[in-house]
Amino acid sequence: MKLGMLTACLPSWSLKRVAGWAAKTGYERFEVAVWPGTGGRDFEAAHIDVARFDGRERERVQGLLRETGLAISALAYYENNLHPDLERRERIRTHLKHAIDAAQALGVPYVGTFIGRDPARSVPENQREAERVLPELVEYAGERDVKLIIENCVMEGWHPDGHPGNIAYSPELWEWMFSLGLYLNWDPSHLMWLGIDPLATIAPYAGRIVHAQAKDIELDLVARNRYGFFGTTAKNGDPWATGWWRYRVPGRGQVDWIRVVDRLYEAGFTGTLSVEHEDPLWGGTPEKVCQGLTIAHHTLRPLVVA
């Protein structure tokens, strides 16, 4: 197992700067954000321009890896592959293929994305649509010796009522997506607020957990008594406002990282445990984000054998 970090939390920094900081801090891998860089969300970082990836860009990235001793665990482009706007869906599909091509050129084994959802359709209806559109992408990746990995993020902000916006949120749905040739980028934080025991989901699906996210969560069960499971309806312009849970860096929430890492080792996991920083207390500026990443490193480094 290797300890890594997702670069999306530092969108204003260059890849060179992120890599230098990560290596100096003691991270071994990094999961590189490859959004087009046109979105408004903080995590839509573009640390490699996969749409214009050529030999010069490949040499630049490989030079950084040689210089820092880091390796890329995966390329990250988490978007809605079932977007109801078919033109936008096609743009997402095209960019995902660019990410796959760049991963092949760099020898990166995984590209991370979401299944997504059309919120106007039921989960079974979205499953049928996914069965129509996703196998072509799985095949495209497989021909290039790349695996598509799906994070089990609920993406509740993509649904107007806070319902799942990414239909990969439960082991029942993982079993279905595995049948399409997809793999899992396992994240315990999302399971926690859904009421699913993260530890119980490791051993049964160990063969498909090829990458893992290290994100913590803080649950306020008293607030849940007021808002209900799906969270507050008073979003005040923030579709991600929940009122009773918030994501934290590892060590500042309620995930039992000692047992999580131990169970991953027991299951034979040899991939990357990648810190995904979405902690509002340790955000807002690059300096605060780096402090949060340092807290995560201090929490996880003693657990992951160097």
pLDDT of residue 38: 52
pLDDT of residue 247: 97
Q: For residue range 254-291, what is the model confidence (pLDDT) as tens digits? A: 999 999 999 999 999 999 999 999 999 999 999 999 99
Q: For residue range 66-91, what is the model confidence (pLDDT) as tens digits? A: 999 999 999 999 999 999 999 999 99
pLDDT of residue 40: 46
Q: For residue range 154-182, what is the model confidence (pLDDT) as tens digits? A: 999 999 899 999 999 999 999 999 999 99
Q: For residue range 90-146, what is the model confidence (pLDDT) as tens digits? A: 999 999 999 999 999 999 999 999 999 999 999 999 999 999 999 999 999 999 999
Report the Cα–Cα distance between both ends of the chain, in Å, rounded.
Answer: 8
Query: What amino acid occupies position 270?
Result: T
Residue 22 structure tokens: 């990560």
pLDDT of residue 44: 72
Q: 2-300 in CATH: which number?
A: 3.20.20.150
Query: What amino acid occupies position 285?
Result: T
pLDDT above 90 covers a percentage of the chain that reads: 93
Strand 209-214, strand 2-6: pairing = unpaired
What average pLDDT does the segment 192-214 reach?
Answer: 98
pLDDT of residue 43: 53
Q: State the pLDDT confidence band at 303, using cuts at 50, 70 and 90.
A: very high
pLDDT of residue 110: 98
